[in-house]
Amino acid sequence: GESVGLHLPTLSVQEGDNSIINCAYSNSASDYFIWYKQESGKGPQFIIDIRSNMDKRQGQRVTVLLNKTVKHLSLQIAATQPGDSAVYFCAEKNQAGTALIFGKGTTLSVSS
């Protein structure tokens, strides 16, 4: 079946540290993955995406790594800032390719 999940529901880091948020998926045929950030009281916002023909993709202060062998992806945030505090969701494309399936989310707390 299709499902995505995150390893840890919460992650606490100090300002300036690097953060790593992990996600496991079950559908080996998934070819598209996406990370969203949701701040309190707001809708999710796109962070970065990656296709299955890539292992790594970098954005501004964020990097997504995809390991298809173990069906795992991670989001790395460099020099984490208080403004990065939010819930982070990974999502994968469903089998029909028409919608996204979201994981439960990891709450990132950044202390200064």
Residue 6 beta carbon to another protein: minimum distance, rounded to whole angstroms: 9
Instruction: List contacts with another protein (CB under 8 A).
Output: 4, 9, 32, 34, 41-46, 49, 51, 89, 91, 93, 97-105
Cα separation, 86 vs 63, in Å, equals 17
Minimum distance, C-beta of residue 15 to another protein, in the bound complex (Å)? 26
Q: Regarding beta strands 19-25 and 4-6, do their DSSP bridges make them parallel or antiparallel, or are they unpaired?
A: antiparallel
Gap between the Cα atoms of 48 and 60, Å rounded: 9
The answer to whether 4 and 32 are in contact (CB under 8 A) is no
Q: Which of 7, 51 has the CB closer to another protein?
A: 51
What's the min distance (Å) between Cβ of 55 and another protein?
17
Comparison of 17 and 57: residue with beta carbon closer to another protein: 57
Which is closer to another protein, CB of 17 or CB of 74? Answer: 74
Q: Which class for 33: exposed (0-12), middle (13-18), buried (19 or more C-beta within 10 A)?
A: buried
